[in-house]
Amino acid sequence: MLELEAERTRGSAALTLMVYDVIVGGIAHRLELEKSDSGWKCQLDGKEVHVDAVLPRRDVLSLLVDGHAFEVKREQTATDLHMWVGSTRFAVEIRDPRSLRSRKGGVVDEKGPRKILAPMPGRVVRLLVAEQAEVEAGQGIVVVEAMKMQNEIKSPKKGIVKKIVAAAGVAINAGDVLAIVE
């Protein structure tokens, strides 16, 4: 039904109806936005809401919903999309229901080898375990220093340290593999 109504040509001014599935805090909402002469016609989960929105600058939205004013900020990280309504953060996923694809990546496998990644750029200060050591979940593996702070990077699971890639004194980037625990 939505497919029939949707008439979306991205990049042109002729868009009329946009349909999104928006997941906020694990709950999916169906959002339909239609451009009209006087602003936007909005249906949220089948219910009509009066919405007006202006983008005063990139990533900041002044949103009026039935007369209530909200300043909403958008923050994108490499992994997440967040909407900050006032000072409350919502993790949001937005998708076009007509281009659903199978989800890939991001699945955490409790079995099998796990890479321990540097959460931030820094310098390896010291190693806390040796290869082949048995470690518990949450046990410190390496110490990384950034911004004058030393931080223990911990094992995500119980297992054997298969490989230690990090070496003391070496500069690392966020996302670098420090060790592998299996």
Partner 1 sequence: MSGLGVDGLRMFKKILIANRGEIAVRVIRACREIGISTVAVYSEIDRAALHVRKADEAYPIGPAPASESYLRMDKILDVARRSGAEAIHPGYGFLSENAKFAKACVEAGIKFIGPTAHSMEMMGSKTRARQHMEKAGIPFVPGTARGLTSPEEAEKVAEQVGYPVMLKAAAGGGGKGMRLVHTPQELRSALESAQSEAQRSFGDSEVYIEKAIINPRHIEMQVLADEHGNTVWLGERECSIQRRHQKVLEEAPSPIVDPDMRRRMGEVAVRVAQAANYTNAGTIEFLVDQQKNFYFLEMNTRLQVEHPVTELTTGLDLVHLQIRIAAGEKLPFSQSDVTIRGHAIECRIYAEDPDNSYFPSPGKITVLLQPSGPGIRRDSGMYEGWNVPMDYDPLLAKLIGYGTDRPQAIQRLQRALYEYFVAGIKTNISLFRRILRDGDFQAGKLDTGFLDRLLTKSDPDIAARAPEPRIAAIAAGMFAVLDPTSSASSSRRNGNAADMVPACSSWKQKGRAEALR
Read off φ and ψ for residue 98, nearest 5 degrees.
-90, -5
List the interface residues with partner 1, window 44-83 (CB under 8 A). Answer: 44-45, 49, 51, 53, 55, 58-61, 63, 65, 70, 72-79, 81, 83
CB of 98 to partner 1, least distance (A): 9
Q: Which of 119, 160, 170, 182 binds partner 1 (CB under 8 A)?
A: 119
Q: Which of 31, 129, 165, 180 binds partner 1 (CB under 8 A)?
A: 31
Q: Does 129 bind partner 1 (CB under 8 A)?
A: no
Residue found by looking up tokens 């169906």 in the block? 30
Residue found by looking up tokens 């004194």 in the block? 169
For residue 135, count other CB atoms closer than 10 A to its CB.
19
For partner 1, the closer of residues 111 and 148 by Cβ is: 148
* Options 22-30, 127-135, 157-165: segment touching partner 1 (CB under 8 A): 22-30
For partner 1, the closer of residues 15 and 132 by Cβ is: 15
CA gyration radius, the chain: 23
* Options 103-111, 129-137, 158-166: segment touching partner 1 (CB under 8 A): 103-111
Q: Where are the alpha helices (DSSP H) in the chain?
A: 2-5
Q: How many chain residues are in contact with partner 1, going by CB under 8 A?
A: 72
User: Which tokens hold the place of 55?
Assistant: 């983008």
Segment holding 4, helix H or strand E: helix 2-5
Through-space distance between the first and last CA atoms of the chain, rounded to whole angstroms: 48
Q: Does 104 bind partner 1 (CB under 8 A)?
A: yes
For partner 1, the closer of residues 95 and 134 by Cβ is: 95
Distance CA 14, CA 35 (A): 9
Residue found by looking up tokens 């699971």 in the block? 157
Q: Does 111 bind partner 1 (CB under 8 A)?
A: no
